[in-house]
Amino acid sequence: MTLNPTSTGTTKVSSGTSAEKFKHGEVRDFVIATLTIGLLVGGILITPNFPIIFGTLAQLFQELKKKKIPEAKVKRVLKNLEKKEIIYLERRGSEVYVHLKDWLQPKVIKYSLKSILSEKSSNKKWSGKWFLVFFDVPEKQRNKRDYFRSFLREIGFYQYQQSVYVFPYECEKEISLLKKIVEGGKYISYVIAEKIENEKEAKIYFGLN
Which residue positions form the known binding site for Mg(2+)? 136
Tell me how crowded residue 182 is: count the other CB atoms within 10 A of its CB. 18
Taking the C-alpha atoms of residue 130 and residue 128, their distance in angstroms, rounded to an integer, is 7
Evaluate whether 117 touches 29 at the Cβ level (below 8 Å): no
| Closest of 188, 115, 108 to residue 148, by C-alpha | 188
Tell me how crowded residue 17 is: count the other CB atoms within 10 A of its CB. 16
Tell me how crowded residue 31 is: count the other CB atoms within 10 A of its CB. 24
Annotated binding site: 136
Taking the C-alpha atoms of residue 118 and residue 189, their distance in angstroms, rounded to an integer, is 21
Tell me how crowded residue 48 is: count the other CB atoms within 10 A of its CB. 17
Report how many helices (DSSP H) and strands (DSSP E) the chain contains, helices first: 7, 9
